[in-house]
Structure 1
Amino acid sequence: MAREIERKFLVDGDDWKDGAEKGVRLKQAYLLGAADRSARVRVFDDSRARITLKFGGSAMSRDEFEYDIPLEDALDMMTHALGSVIDKTRYRVPDGNFVWEVDVYHGDHAGLVVAEVELPNETATPRLPDWLGREVTGDRRYINQALAETGAIPEENG
């Protein structure tokens, strides 16, 4: 079991692109969901897939279990999605001892750009790049599960 500890921010501008690695196209579907747990399936660049289970309702950290699964199984599971299938490109942006992951959303969520940084513990303090906007850690509207359920960008961004 892994512990996912992360902070999440809206992105302001395109300056993050200067340090970004090649992006990976992700399609993800939520199969089960509640306030304190979720099950999702994710397809990477239409070539490989993983299933992820998350438990815990903390704004910053949750228990996370991830497993590779056959691509064909993932595609079948996506037909059972709760709400819409999330479509985004994820870019890794190394910054010192941390790596920011910038998600550029497509489809129903086009226009939304969010950055996350995974932390070794809840007291870690990564440098906050200038291209970060408002912090949305703990704001349920920006959790991918909520984006899939609503099928839309939160109003303040749309």
Structure 2
Amino acid sequence: MKEIERKFLVIRAEYRNGILPVRYRQGYIMQDATGHLRIRVGGGKAILGFKKLISGFSRWEFEYPVPVDDAEEMLAHLCEGRVVEKDRYTLTYRGMRWEVDEFLGKNAGLVIAEIELDSEGRYFEKPPWAGEEVTHDPRYLNVHLAEHPYGEW
């Protein structure tokens, strides 16, 4: 499936109002310059996912459920420390779904809002708590943060 995603730094915590986050741990099993294979555990579920850059802010994304115990083994033995932990808040703003990730551990202090769109030209209204767009900055990709944590920049 094609994923079209835009990312923004978060400048205020208003998105939290009354929303409980889900804690995620995701690790990277394989990666190259244009794609990666990851395992994610959170909310009592586990997903094996593959992403590959198409162009701009479009990527191919395929995700498959796996047993949580298997995912924990993959995180422990296949990711070689390339793991990101975050709390995710999911909310609706102006009729559109946003996900806000508060990163933990070595990436603490970084908060990113993401919106998935049905086309690259799709209009959306940016929430007041969303600041600078970082969609095209590869430093803010989770796969990059797993190897080059925000706290070490």
Q: Give the TM-score, by structure 2 length.
A: 0.93
- Secondary structure, in 3 states, of the residue corresponding to 1:129? coil
Determine if the alignment matches structure 1 residue 9 to structure 2 residue 8: yes
Amino acid at match of 1:98: M
CA distance, structure 2, for counterparts of residue 21 and residue 85 of structure 1: 25
1:29-108 → structure 2 map (5 Å cutoff): 29-45=27-43, 47-79=44-76, 80-108=78-106
The runs of 5 or more residues in structure 2 that have no matched partner are none
- Matched residue count: 152
The runs of at least 4 aligned residues of structure 1 exceeding 6 Å deviation read: none
CA distance, structure 2, for counterparts of residue 57 and residue 144 of structure 1: 17
**Offset at residue 21 of structure 1 (A):** 3.2
**Contact 1:91 1:101 survives alignment (8 Å):** yes
**Offset at residue 82 of structure 1 (A):** 4.5
> Identity rate of aligned residues, in percent?
40
Per-residue CA distance 1:14-62 (angstroms, 9 max, x = gap): 12223x63211100001111121100000013x2200000112534110
CA distance, structure 2, for counterparts of residue 8 and residue 144 of structure 1: 11
Q: Give the TM-score, by structure 1 length.
A: 0.90
Cα RMSD, aligned residues only: 1.5
Indicate which of 126, 133, 136 corresponds to 1:135: 133
The runs of 5 or more residues in structure 1 that have no matched partner are none
